[in-house]
Amino acid sequence: MSGPGPAPEGDRFLPSVVTLEASMRAGKQSLVDGRLGDALGHFNAALKLKPRYDVAWIARGQVLKLQGDLDEALRSFAEALVLKPENEEAWIALAGVLHRMKRAKEEVEAFDQVLRLNPRNVEALINKGAALHGLRRYSEAEACYDSVLAARPEYAPAWNNKGATLLRRGKVDDALDAFERATRLDPDFFDAHVNRAFAWQRKGKHGHAVI
């Protein structure tokens, strides 16, 4: 009686798949444990097995960002996006590195890509607004916060950020209203209390400028 025939063509890849998954699990655990060098080694090993693996490129980029190697982190996220341009996580990660590198215009463009894929992405809207604020494009920043508040009127950070933008535009009363909404929604929101006090100072009523 003859032995088993040759394994199906796909089976020859099973050991690599098992090793790939083990490398990714080990990398994630090392990251949780704060062992960044080990995590990077595991994710690099995964990419040797599967160079066109966008998830591994993102994981590698996150480690490099934590290590402070922003140029290489940026390259990792860009590689992930070459492989999967519709990956929201990769665009947000790319934007985060661009923010750290103080490349605000490119950061806005990255968030635009996220919002093209998912117009209701709150994280992208809030952070795009903050980047626009930094570029002094206040009316565009306010529009981002309004988009968040249209969907989530109870979201205190959007009210706070909108207030900061209104204050920059000289709309002190509207800014006060926004800060007061933020503090009512989240009484422990320290930044909103500080901004509210500053707005009262701008208005000239120092008696209200108490945090």
3 falls in which pLDDT band (50, 70, 90)? very low
Considering only the C-alpha atoms of the chain, give the largest distance between any 2 of them, rounded to a whole number of Å. Answer: 98
Report the C-alpha gap between 142 and 146 in whole angstroms.
6
7 falls in which pLDDT band (50, 70, 90)? very low
Percent of the chain surpassing pLDDT 70:
90
Tokens read off for 43:
């994710």
List, in order of start, the domains of the chain with CATH numbers. Answer: 20-118 (1.25.40.10), 119-211 (1.25.40.10)
pLDDT, tens only, 36-72: 999 999 999 999 999 999 999 999 999 999 999 999 9
Taking alpha carbons only, the member of 108, 107, 55 closest to residue 84 is 55
Report the C-alpha gap between 196 and 199 in whole angstroms.
5
What pLDDT, on a 0 to 100 scale, did the predictor assign at position 2? 37
Helix (H) or strand (E) holding 7: none
pTM, whole model, 2 decimals? 0.83
Taking residues 138-144, what's their average pLDDT? 98
